[in-house]
């Protein structure tokens, strides 16, 4: 049996711990392009074409009350003024072996701001020209890499 603890998912940007996630999905990482595309010839021959585009978006789903909103607002506004607020982004899942590293990441835009009867979500979208991702796992308390043959 494995146990997942969301408090053991550590996320930082520019050395700042990112905290105060909403209930549910905390972080989404999505590449802009497929790793490979298929080219089909008229006679059934085909070619696999590798993409050199490793860019993508990282979305943080923070609660309205998260103190991280303050820090990210300062950096987003500085970047709009100075144009040079770029830094490393990391996600490390201490429950297993998943890690994400992006050496140069910036805030794409300020989140949509809403107010209502209940607390709302602030979705911060970051963009990166190069995301390096290792999607690992954990099985019976052991990382998959410790299983012979995997």
Q: In sequence order, what DSSP letters do the residues of 31-58 get, joined into one string? A: ESS-SEEEEE-TTS-EEEEE---B-EEE
Residue of 51, 50, 49, 55 lying closest to 32 (CA atoms): 55
Q: Is the pLDDT of residue 12 over 60?
A: yes
pLDDT higher than 60, residue 49: yes
User: Is residue 146 scored above 80 in pLDDT?
Assistant: no
Indicate whether 99 pLDDT > 90.
yes
| Of residues 87 and 148, more confidently modeled | 87
What's the pLDDT at 118? 86
Name which residue leads in pLDDT, 18 or 137: 18
Instruction: Give the number of other CB atoms < 10 A from CB of residue 21.
Output: 19
pTM of the predicted model as reported, rounded to 2 decimal places: 0.84
pLDDT beyond 90 at 138: no
Average pLDDT, rounded, for the chain = 90
pLDDT in tens, 68-78: 999 999 999 99
H-helix or E-strand spanning residue 92:
strand 87-93
Please compute the mean of the pLDDT values over residues 117-142 and round it to a whole number: 86
Mean pLDDT of 107-134: 93
**Tokens matching residue 78:** 């500085």
Model confidence at 136, pLDDT cuts 50, 70, 90, reads confident
Q: All domains of the chain, ordered by start, with CATH?
A: 6-33+42-145 (2.30.110)
């Amino acid at each position: 049996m494995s146990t997942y603890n969301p408090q053991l998912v550590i996320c930082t940007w520019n050395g700042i711990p990112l905290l105060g996630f909403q209930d549910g999905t905390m972080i989404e990482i999505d590449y802009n392009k497929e790793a490979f595309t298929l080219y089909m010839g008229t006679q059934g021959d085909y070619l696999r074409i590798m993409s050199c585009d490793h860019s993508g978006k990282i979305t943080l789903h923070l609660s309205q009350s998260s103190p991280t909103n303050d820090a990210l607002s300062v950096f987003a506004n500085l970047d709009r003024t100075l144009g040079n607020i770029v830094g490393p982004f990391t996600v490390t899942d201490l429950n297993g072996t998943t890690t994400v590293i992006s050496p140069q990441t910036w805030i794409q835009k300020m989140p949509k701001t809403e107010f209502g009867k209940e607390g709302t979500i602030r979705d911060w979208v970051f963009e990166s020209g190069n995301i390096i991702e290792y999607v690992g796992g954990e099985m019976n308390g052991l990382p998959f890499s410790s299983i012979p043959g995997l």
